[in-house]
Amino acid sequence: MSNGERDLQRIWTAGLIVIGDEILSGRTQDRNIAQIATWLNVQGIRLAEVRVVPDIEERIIEAIGALRSANDYCFTTGGIGPTHDDITVDAVAKALGVPVAVHPAARAILERYYADKGGLNEGRLRMARVPEGAELIENKMSGAPGIRIGNLFLMAGVPHITAGMLDALSGTLQGGRPLVSVTVGAFAPESEVAEILREAEQAVDGISIGSYPFFKEGRVGSNFVIRSEDSAKANAVAEELAGKLAEVGYATVAGGI
């Protein structure tokens, strides 16, 4: 089966390693987890685990070892820029036991990109370094490409650059059936309807129901998310659940509140 086709017989998973002191210090609000999770779902791949690790080589290597063997795919974000704190390529090369090499096509891309910006220098040339044997992932936003080697995908830390790289990868990874989510919202405290939820989940195989409380306009409510690989089943459970909630006096809003 070639890349991009679907194998509906099994669940395809990915791990994600967010590399960056700026996330662990609280300075930067991560946006890549949600962005990559959403994109993976569309590809029929489930995000199974995320690890956020500091800019320390051994910690990155350890996380790569764990997540790339436990999943079909493993993504990283961060640490592929031009500065001294960008150590992802070296860590990945060590994790894979391969040397780091300058990729000729990456070098050519950077030469073109920086032609009218002062040309290449040592820092900029860093962004052409890849673990030997890697392919490039196109970056339409800012020149320096993402990197693919084996089941590893090295993406940028800046979310809109990663968005472009994901776009370039869309449809190229083999996946399974996308997970469908159907949401039903109600101004119902989840603690009042917990039993109804439990029964609704247990009544049907192949679905799960998540319950997410909120506070809005001074009122307590919950969104109930039915997840399944079978969209007809998810919709039927949502309808059934809405009926049960109506019986105990809670009007529901399809799509959530």
Binding mask 110-139 for its own copies (x = CB under 8 A): ----x--xx--xxxx-xx------------
Backbone angles phi, psi at 27, to 5 degrees: -65, -40
Answer whether 213's CB lies under 8 Å from 221's CB.
yes
Contacts of 224 (CB under 8 A, 6+ apart): 183, 184, 185, 186, 197, 209, 210, 211, 212, 241
Least CB distance from residue 99 to its own copies, whole Å?
Answer: 22
Smallest distance from its own copies to CB 40, Å:
8
Total residues contacting its own copies (rule CB under 8 A)?
Answer: 71
Closest approach of Cβ 1 to its own copies, in Å? Answer: 25
- Identify which of residues 55 and 72 has a Cβ nearer to its own copies in the complex: 55
What residues does 210 pair with on adjacent strands?
225
85 scored as a contact of its own copies (CB under 8 A):
yes
Distance from C-alpha of 140 to C-alpha of 156, rounded to nearest angstrom: 12
Window 173 to 232, contacts with its own copies (CB under 8 A)? 179, 181, 189-195, 197-198, 201, 208-215, 225, 227
Of 98 and 231, the one with the shorter C-beta distance to its own copies is: 231
**What's the closest the beta carbon of residue 47 comes to its own copies, in angstroms?**
5
Measured from the Cβ of residue 88, the count of other Cβ atoms closer than 10 Å reads 25
CA distance 30 to 37: 13
CA dist list (Å): 167 to 35, 93, 142, 154, 202: 11, 25, 14, 14, 38
Sign of the Cα pseudo-torsion (172, 136, 48, 224, in order): negative
Site for its own copies in 53-72 (CB under 8 A): 53-55, 59
For residue 148, what are the β-bridge partners?
135, 153
The least distance separating its own copies from the CB of residue 94, rounded to whole angstroms, comes to: 19
Between residue 233 and residue 252, which ones bind its own copies under the rule CB under 8 A? none
Is 190 or 239 the residue whose CB approaches its own copies more closely? Answer: 190
Q: How far is the CB of 84 from its own copies (least distance, A)?
A: 4
Binding residue (CB under 8 A) for its own copies from 158, 163, 236, 253 = 158
- Contacts (Cβ under 8 Å, ≥6 apart) of 186: 193, 221, 222, 224, 245, 250, 251, 252, 253, 257
Show contacts with its own copies in window 1-40 (CB under 8 A): 18, 21-31, 33-40
Select 46 or 103, whichever has its Cβ closest to its own copies.
46
